């Protein structure tokens, strides 16, 4: 009997624990719309960004030649990407009024100067000095090799750190093995830095959100590489991260009765030649209107057929209105209480029978 009770108790606890874990996973997914979005711009995406973006979102162009696209952006921040810190330093005096953030995309490749590849920390340090002169922020987007070898040393000079995971976004374990060990190092080097994961608009959007969800509490943003061939995927991503909310029309203001002419409003409502019945109805209507006027002038509230003063609280006959989620929560709590009560009662009964029978 005791073994049966223990088995039942363990089963209930495991079931409850499973519900907790499910809520935790759901909560992580729900955090994704709270992150800022860094969207790579193309001409068809300017209107979408203006419609959906928040003030902390980022409109990004991948090359200085696309700078004119940012002129049409009316919300959020503007970022232009440079492969070379030297090029950025040379051009910033001419474009600093048009942007908010300088992007430094340091990679191992022919587009990046050899000097900067060999001296990554010194290069970003020099770029930081110039961005500070113009009051601009600095975003660092290194390839994986630079992130692992020099990311923590470069982080103190950046405001944003972008992990490029778009090439392996269909391999969640590869992404986590790359990102998770570096998060603590980068955060330790610069506690104020904001971190994002960069994906591209390919594949199933739900799977992309599943990839990002486990890290939602560790990162602050989502960077999105786009292309003209995948506009529908970009729109779906923005719909997921920036859903449009229908505005609720304002509630109508309550009517306020000022300077009510009681005799005129009542007498015109009484049909002629009704004798004493008409007079009685008039008297009753007059009394009701008087109560309404007193309630309006005295700051009272009408609840049903009762007049309630502010200092008296709601009428005892008022019906409590419970929202659907709250009702569901109460029902779940009641169900859990009943289960616990049954388990406890079962245990007490089993103990009593065992004691009486000497088992």
So what's the pLDDT on residue 43?
87
Q: Chain centroid to CA 73: how far?
A: 22
Angle at the Cα of 76 from the Cα atoms of 72 and 78, rounded to 5 degrees: 65
pLDDT tens by residue, 213-241: 999 999 999 999 999 999 999 999 999 99
The stretches of the chain forming alpha helices (DSSP H) are: 2-30, 46-52, 85-95, 114-118, 120-133, 144-154, 172-189, 205-212, 231-241, 262-267, 275-297, 324-357
The sign of the CA dihedral 272, 276, 277, 278 is positive
Work out the percent of the chain whose per-residue pLDDT is above 70. 60
pLDDT tens by residue, 49-86: 999 999 999 999 999 999 999 999 999 999 999 999 99
Average pLDDT of the residues in 157-161: 98
pLDDT of 296 over the 90 cut:
no
So what's the pLDDT on residue 342?
72
Residue 117 falls within a domain, yes or no?
yes
Residue 12 falls within a domain, yes or no?
no
Could you give the number of structural domains in the chain?
1
So what's the pLDDT on residue 181?
96
User: What's the pTM?
Assistant: 0.63
Residue 339 falls within a domain, yes or no?
no
d(CA 144, CA 195): 15
So what's the pLDDT on residue 335?
54
Residue 298 falls within a domain, yes or no?
no
Nearest to 78 by CA among 116, 29, 120, 41: 41
Backbone angles phi, psi at 103, to 5 degrees: -100, 130
Residue 82 falls within a domain, yes or no?
yes
230: CATH? 3.20.20.70
d(CA 109, CA 117): 9
Spell out the residues 6+ positions from residue 86 whose beta carbon is closer than 8 angstroms to its own: 113, 116, 123
Q: What is the residue range of 63's domain?
A: 23-241
Comparing 325 with 41, the larger pLDDT belongs to 41
pLDDT tens by residue, 140-155: 999 999 999 999 999 9
């Amino acid at each position: 009997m005791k073994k049966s009770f223990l088995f039942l108790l363990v089963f209930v606890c495991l079931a409850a624990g499973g519900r907790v874990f499910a809520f935790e996973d759901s909560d992580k997914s729900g955090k994704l719309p709270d992150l800022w979005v860094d969207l790579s711009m193309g001409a068809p995406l300017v209107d979408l960004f203006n419609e959906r973006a928040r003030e902390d979102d980022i409109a990004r162009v991948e090359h200085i030649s696309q700078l004119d696209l940012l002129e049409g952006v009316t919300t959020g921040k503007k970022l232009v990407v440079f492969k070379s810190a030297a090029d950025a330093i040379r051009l910033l005096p001419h474009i600093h009024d048009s942007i908010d953030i300088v992007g430094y995309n340091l990679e191992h490749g022919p587009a990046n100067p050899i000097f900067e590849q060999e001296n990554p920390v010194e290069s970003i340090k020099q770029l930081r000095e110039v961005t500070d002169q113009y009051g601009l922020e600095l975003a660092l987007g290194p390839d994986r090799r630079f992130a692992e070898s020099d990311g923590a040393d470069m982080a103190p000079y950046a405001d944003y750190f972008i992990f490029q995971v778009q090439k392996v976004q269909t391999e969640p374990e590869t992404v986590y093995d790359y990102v998770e060990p570096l998060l603590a190092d980068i955060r330790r080097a610069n506690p104020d830095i904001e971190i994002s994961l960069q994906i591209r608009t390919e594949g199933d959007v739900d799977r992309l959100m599943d990839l990002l969800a486990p890290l939602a509490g560790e990162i602050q943003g989502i960077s999105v590489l786009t292309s003209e061939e995948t506009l529908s995927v970009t729109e779906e991503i923005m719909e997921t991260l920036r859903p449009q909310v229908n505005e609720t029309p304002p509630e109508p203001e309550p009517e306020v009765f000022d300077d009510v002419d009681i005799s005129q409003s009542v007498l015109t409502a009484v049909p002629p030649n009704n004798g004493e019945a008409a007079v009685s109805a008039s008297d009753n209507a007059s009394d009701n209107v008087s109560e309404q006027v007193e309630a309006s002038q005295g700051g009272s509230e009408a609840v049903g057929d009762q007049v309630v003063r502010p200092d008296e609280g709601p009428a005892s006959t008022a019906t409590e209105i419970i929202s659907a989620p709250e009702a569901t929560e109460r029902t779940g709590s009641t169900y859990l209480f009943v289960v616990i009560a049954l388990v406890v009662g079962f245990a007490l009964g089993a103990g009593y029978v065992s004691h009486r029978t000497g088992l």
